[in-house]
């Protein structure tokens, strides 16, 4: 069991297309190991090592470059936004629109799944917006953890709800009473 206290989950296998060589690196974070994958286009995948296994013959060892560095800075409280080329080739249609819209949800802010659906012009597609968040290939960098249910509760998260809670607390900080601040727009 990971030291973060998450419960065991089924490991999901992610296979990336074999049309190019990907760089792969592991980054240690307070919420567990992250697998960072780069393509010729940019950052292609951020996976939670405890719940996802990224595999394929097309990987080469990679130090993680600026992606690993920026993720480290984020967890150290030194970075509020990422300045990375992102590989959006697999983010198409409605899901791609939602995933791109996530980039507009700023550090320390939260939105509801309903608000996110409305932002991409499909206010009735709340569940589909949730699915787009669940399928986000770049969690943390593309901040799906900043999306909450309309009642303010956490909802799901690929890395586990404890990881989502940690990320929200990291960004929101604590107020003088020691309780987390949340802002629903």
Phi then psi for residue 94, to 5 deg, are -60, -45
Rounded Cα distance, 83 and 152, in Å = 29
Residue 144 among the catalytic residues = yes
For the chain, the C-alpha Rg in angstroms (whole number) is 16
- Per-residue DSSP letter, 15: E
Rounded Cα distance, 173 and 166, in Å = 10
Between helix 126-134 and helix 93-102 the angle, nearest 10°, is 70
Which token pair is 143? Answer: 């901040």
Q: Catalytic one among 44, 71, 144, 172?
A: 144
What residues are labeled active site?
144
């Amino acid at each position: 069991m990971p030291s973060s206290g998450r419960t065991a989950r089924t490991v999901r296998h992610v296979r990336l297309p074999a049309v190019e060589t990907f760089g792969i690196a592991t980054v240690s974070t307070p919420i567990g190991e992250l697998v960072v994958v780069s393509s010729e286009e940019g950052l292609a995948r951020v996976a939670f090592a405890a719940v996802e296994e990224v595999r394929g013959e097309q990987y080469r060892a990679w130090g993680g470059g600026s992606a690993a560095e920026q993720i480290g800075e984020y967890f150290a409280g030194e970075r509020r936004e990422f300045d990375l080329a992102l590989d959006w080739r697999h983010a198409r249609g409605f899901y791609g629109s939602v995933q791109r819209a996530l980039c507009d949800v700023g550090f320390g802010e939260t939105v509801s799944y309903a608000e996110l659906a409305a932002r991409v012009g499909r206010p009735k597609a709340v569940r589909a917006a949730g699915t787009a968040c669940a399928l986000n290939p770049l969690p943390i960098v593309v901040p799906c953890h900043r999306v909450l249910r309309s009642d303010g509760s956490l909802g799901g998260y690929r890395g586990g709800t404890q990881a989502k809670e940690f990320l929200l607390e990291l960004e929101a900080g604590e107020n003088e009473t020691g309780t987390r601040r949340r802002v629903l727009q």
